Amino acid sequence: MRKSITGYLSDLEDFLGYYPVQVTSGILDRIATLEMGILVVNLIFNMVKSILIVISVLIIYSLLMVSVEQKNFEIAVIRMVGL
């Protein structure tokens, strides 16, 4: 986005014939400083999502293992009783 705006401003500068003029925009400077903050926040959110996915996989695995162990225990009790 920044390149397109800067390119547009450079084309406008060339069209007007002001070659030695440096075109700057305060809004573009503010956006440049905010881009790094946005990247950091996205990185933090991605790390949190990854951790939550790993925790959810571990919880699902443990629940399935408890179910299998419980079923094995029930089968062992039934065999012990002789049914």
Q: How much is the pLDDT for 2?
A: 67
Tens digit of each residue's pLDDT, the chain (83 residues): 667 777 777 777 777 776 655 666 777 777 777 888 889 999 999 999 999 999 999 999 998 888 888 888 888 888 888 87
Q: How much is the pLDDT for 74?
A: 84
Q: How much is the pLDDT for 23?
A: 61
Q: What does the alpha-carbon distance between residue 17 and residue 12 come to, in Å, rounded to a whole number?
A: 9
Q: What does the alpha-carbon distance between residue 54 and residue 45 come to, in Å, rounded to a whole number?
A: 14
Domain edges within the chain: 2-81
Q: How much is the pLDDT for 22?
A: 63
Per the CB < 8 A criterion, the answer to whether 42 and 34 are in contact is: no
